[in-house]
């Protein structure tokens, strides 16, 4: 496992919170963490400035900038908002038994499957495993390699409707032919962004939109991405093959929106890559 302080910095960079250690129980679970990352991006693209999350309170949706770089220059106007603090316990948040360093691995033409779908392994990245084993009521089948496993997806910090997979005129993914036609037409009109949470099965694409931070541990720059499993029943394949959407219908309140994300995306790895 990489230096624990580096891992905390990576979690802080992704979430926009100040992630600290505690000897007690973790304040939030890995599932809460991916909820926060996904919901912050979703509400930001919806035009909101803040997100309310249970046990954390109000989270700013403003750009965090370089979390560990020099402080911004003083300007007139209100002071920047104070970052929420998230406390985690190493023992119940991370699972070192399943860490895997892909930094110097190249798969070439070797193919891997998860849930009978192609799995592009995160070659070039160092994976820090999150403790999700036996944490869900439906067991661990979603995390396996068999036909019941969920496909792998990667979440980059800035993945949203600007990727070009755009819903316009009320397109509904449940009506797939109409949805695909609407998405195709919207590639030309680009009238508004799609409504939902975006991820990708291609780690190289996630890297283009990932968060970068400078570490106080070694002074190096790092990229960070979340490795997740995505519920195939909730995921919608978009016009672009390398982009997946968890669709959030209009009219859903905060609790319902959080439930959709929680039922659709489960994290299991924190990926780090030195720039």
CA 255 to chain centre: 19
Closest CA to 197 of 241, 245, 243, 156: 245
Separation CA 194–CA 184 (nearest Å): 12
Separation CA 202–CA 155 (nearest Å): 10
Separation CA 258–CA 187 (nearest Å): 28
Separation CA 56–CA 12 (nearest Å): 14
Q: Which DSSP category does 27 fall into?
A: S
Question: 77-91, 129-143, 155-169: lowest mean pLDDT where?
Answer: 155-169
Separation CA 180–CA 176 (nearest Å): 6
Give pLDDT, residue 169.
36
Q: How much is the average pLDDT of 107-131?
A: 95
Of the pLDDT bands very low, low, confident and very high (cuts 50, 70, 90), residue 198 is: very high
- What SS3 string covers 119-161? ECCCCCCEEEEECCCCCCCCCCHHHCCCCCCCCEEEECCCCCH
pLDDT: which is higher, 153 or 237: 153
Strands (E), the chain: 18-21, 50-53, 57-60, 85-88, 100-101, 112-114, 117-119, 126-129, 152-155, 196-199, 211-214, 221-230, 235-237, 244-247, 265-274
| Contact assessment for residue 202 and residue 238, using Cβ atoms and an 8 Å cutoff | no
Separation CA 155–CA 246 (nearest Å): 12
Question: 159-173, 192-206, 244-258: lowest mean pLDDT where?
Answer: 159-173
Of the pLDDT bands very low, low, confident and very high (cuts 50, 70, 90), residue 161 is: low
Residue 202 scores a pLDDT above 80 = yes
Average model confidence (pLDDT) across the chain = 84
pLDDT: which is higher, 124 or 146: 124
What are the backbone dihedrals phi and psi of residue 75, each rounded to the nearest 5 degrees, phi first?
A: -135, 165
Residue 204 scores a pLDDT above 60 = yes
pTM of the model: 0.84
Helix (H) or strand (E) holding 5: helix 4-15
* 274 three-class SS: strand
Give pLDDT, residue 240.
78
List the domain boundaries for the chain.
Answer: 4-68+83-274
Per-residue pLDDT reduced to its tens digit, 47-79: 899 999 998 999 988 765 444 344 444 444 444
């Amino acid at each position: 496992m990489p230096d624990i302080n580096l891992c905390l910095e990576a979690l802080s960079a992704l979430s926009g919170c100040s992630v600290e250690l505690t000897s007690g129980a973790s304040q939030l679970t890995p599932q809460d963490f991916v909820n926060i990352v996904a919901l912050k991006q979703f509400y930001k693209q919806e035009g909101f400035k803040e997100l309310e999350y249970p046990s954390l309170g109000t989270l700013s949706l403003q750009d965090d900038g370089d979390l560990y770089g020099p402080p911004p220059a003083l300007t007139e106007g209100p002071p920047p908002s104070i970052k929420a603090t998230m406390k985690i316990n190493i023992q119940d948040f991370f699972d070192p038994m399943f860490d895997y360093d892909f930094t110097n691995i190249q798969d070439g033409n070797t193919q891997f499957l998860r849930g009978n779908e192609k799995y592009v392994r995160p070659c070039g990245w160092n994976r820090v495993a999150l403790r999700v084993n036996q944490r869900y009521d439906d067991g661990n089948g979603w995390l396996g390699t068999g036909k019941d496993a969920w496909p792998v997806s990667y979440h980059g910090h800035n993945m949203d409707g600007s990727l070009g997979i755009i819903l316009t005129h009320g397109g509904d993914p449940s009506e797939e032919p109409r949805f695909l036609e609407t998405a195709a037409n919207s590639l030309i009109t680009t009238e508004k962004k799609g409504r939902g949470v975006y991820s990708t099965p291609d780690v190289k694409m996630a890297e283009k939109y990932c968060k970068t931070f400078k570490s106080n541990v070694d002074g190096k720059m790092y990229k960070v991405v979340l490795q997740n499993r995505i519920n195939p029943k909730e995921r919608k394949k978009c016009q672009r093959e390398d982009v997946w959407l968890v669709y959030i219908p209009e009219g859903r309140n905060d609790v319902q929106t959080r439930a959709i994300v929680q039922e659709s995306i489960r994290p299991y790895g924190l990926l780090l890559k030195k720039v």
